[in-house]
Every structure is written in C-alpha cells, then in structure tokens.
Amino acid sequence: MKILLVIDQYQNGNNGTTISARRFAEGLQKRGHTVTVLTTGQEGENKFIVKSLKLPIGISKIIKSQGMNFAVPDKEIIRKAMQDVDIVHFYMPFWLSRTAKKLQMN
C-alpha cells in the first residue's frame, strides 16, 4: 500500500508527534508499505517539501521552543504528493492538513 503522511514537521525528532510519526512510518515500511511524507524541512527520499510558515519573532520563539514548525500549504505540491497514494494520514489539524484534506475531497 502507498501511504502519505501529512505532518508540519517530520525532520527534527524534538516533539512527541514527530517521533510518533517516524515510528509509524518505520513500522509501515517494515511491513512492506511505501510511505511518503508531506512536510517542511530538507528534501529527501520519499518526501514532498513545503515551506515553513514565517511568524513574528516573539511567536516564532515560543513555537520553536516547543519543538514545532508550521507549514505553508502549496496546493501544487500537495496534489503531487497525493497522486497515486492509497491512503492519506493527517497528523496535525493545522493549515497544511486542512488544505490537503480539502483537496483530497475534491
């Protein structure tokens, strides 16, 4: 099965959600599934990268201190990521996942 994980931050394992997503992806891959991730950060194999949301410095410091990063949805990249996948798993109820969910339903 081809699975797409949609998560604002996947690269840095500095929060529970990211660590959980990485473990989930590893477990699925060990079972023979193909896992692709739509996220921010550095490009890599089986990854579709969108830009990070730029916030005012005060807010940005608070968010980063909590180990988070928010993504800016790019509809073109989201559509490419969702091509030929069997299932899409949304991790966060933020802008990236909401936009991807709307595109998935159309």
At 73 the pLDDT is: 97
User: Within the chain, where are the H helices?
Assistant: 16-30, 57-65, 75-82, 95-105
Confidence check: pLDDT of 67 > 80: no
Which pTM does this prediction carry?
A: 0.91
Q: Tens digits of per-residue pLDDT, 9-19? A: 998 877 888 99
Adjacency order of strands within the sheet including 34-39: 47-49, 34-39, 2-6, 87-90
At 14 the pLDDT is: 79
The amino acid at residue 54 is K
For the chain, what are the domain ranges? Answer: 2-105
Specify the CATH architecture of the domain 2-105: 3-Layer(aba) Sandwich (3.40)
Residue with tokens 């797409």: 4
Q: Tens digits of per-residue pLDDT, 24-51? A: 999 999 999 999 999 999 999 999 999 9
At 11 the pLDDT is: 85
Partners of 105 in the β-ladder: none
At 106, list the tokens.
């159309």
- End-to-end CA, the chain: 22
